[in-house]
Chains A and B, each alone.
Chain A
Amino acid sequence: MTGVLLRAAHVTRRFGAFTAVDDVSMGVQPGEVVGLLGANGAGKTTLIRMLLGLIAVTSGRVDLLGGPPDRQRRRRLGYVPQGLGLYGDLTVRENLSFSARAYGTAEPALPPPLTGYADALVRELPLGARRQVAFLAALAHSPDVLVLDEPTSGVDALARAALWDTIRAQAERGAGVLVTTHYMQEAQQCDRLLLMSDGRLVAEGSEADIIGSTTAVAVRTGDWAQAFAALNAAGAPVMLAGRAIRVANADPAELAGVLRAAGIEASLQPVPATIEERMLMLSRQARAS
Chain B
Amino acid sequence: MTYSVRSATVRFGPTVALDDVTIEVPAGSVVAVVGGDGAGKSTLLRALVGEVPLDAGLVEAPRRQRLGYLPASAGSWAALTVTQNIDFVAGIYGLAGDELAARRAELLERASLTPAAGRLAAQLSGGMRRKLGFIMAIVHRPALLILDEPSTGVDPVSRIDLWRLASEAAASGAAVLMSTTYLDEAERAAHLVVLDSGRVLVQGSYDQVRAGFAGVVTRADQPVRAEWAWRRGRDLHEYWSADDPPAGTAAIAPDLEDIVIALSLARRNAVPS
Residues of A within 8 A of B (CB): 39-41, 82, 126-128, 153-162, 164-165, 168, 182-185, 188-191, 224-226, 228-229, 232, 237-243, 275-277, 279-280, 283
Contact = CB atoms under 8 A, between A and B. Distances in A.
Interface in B142-158: 152-158
Interface string B231-265: 11110000000000000000000000100110011
A241 B187 contact: yes
B212 to A, nearest CB: 16
A224 B154 CA distance: 27
B125 A157 contact: no
B167 interface: yes
Contact of A158 (B126, B158, B168, B261): B261
Contact of B265 (A158, A188, A243, A279): A158
A169 B36 CA distance: 23
A182 B159 contact: yes
Interface string B21-39: 0000000101000011111
B183 interface: yes
User: Which of B160, B261, B265 is most buried by chain A, counting CB atoms within 10 A of its CB?
Assistant: B160
Contacts of B261: 157-158, 161
B231 A164 contact: yes
A18 B127 CA distance: 21
A225 B232 contact: no
Interface stretch (B4-12, B54-62, B188-196): B188-196
Contacts of A158: 36, 230, 261, 264-265, 268
B77 interface: no
Contacts of A237: 160
A279 B37 contact: no
A280 B181 CA distance: 21
Contacts of B188: 239-242
Contact of B152 (A128, A154, A243): A154
Interface of B: 28, 30, 35-39, 125-127, 152-160, 163-164, 166-168, 170-173, 181-184, 187-190, 196, 205-207, 230-234, 257, 260-261, 264-265, 268
Contacts of A184: 184
A225 B37 contact: no
A232 B233 contact: no
A245 B182 CA distance: 20
Nearest to B36: A156
A228 B264 contact: no
Contacts of B35: 156
B248 to A, nearest CB: 25
A154 B36 contact: yes
Contacts of B173: 225
A237 B152 CA distance: 21
Given A225-B172, A229-B172, A240 B37 contact: no
Contacts of B207: 242
A211 B155 CA distance: 17
Contacts of A191: 233-234
A185 to B, nearest CB: 5
Contacts of B233: 188-191
Contacts of B170: 225, 240
Top 4 A-B pairs, shortest CB-CB distance: A156-B36, A127-B37, A240-B167, A225-B171
B153 A153 contact: yes
Given A154-B37, A156-B39, A157-B260, A279 B156 contact: yes
B152 A225 contact: no
A92 to B, nearest CB: 17
B105 to A, nearest CB: 16
A243 B35 CA distance: 22
Contacts of B190: 242-243
A189 B257 CA distance: 12
A182 B264 contact: no
A143 B169 CA distance: 48
B14 to A, nearest CB: 15
23 contacts: A41-B125, A126-B37, A127-B38, A128-B38, A154-B36, A154-B37, A154-B181, A156-B37, A156-B196, A157-B261, A157-B264, A162-B231, A185-B184, A190-B233, A226-B171, A228-B167, A229-B168, A238-B164, A238-B167, A240-B30, A240-B166, A240-B170, A242-B187
A168 B229 CA distance: 14
B222 to A, nearest CB: 13
A273 B140 CA distance: 35
Contacts of B153: 82, 153
Contacts of A188: 233
Given A225-B170, A229-B172, A238-B164, A183 B184 contact: yes
Contact of A276 (B156, B167, B260): B156
Given A182-B155, A241-B188, A279-B157, A228 B171 contact: yes
User: Which of A225, A275, A277 is most buried by chain B, counting CB atoms within 10 A of its CB?
Assistant: A225
A277 B160 CA distance: 8
Contacts of A40: 125-127, 155, 157-158
Nearest to B37: A127
Contacts of B189: 242
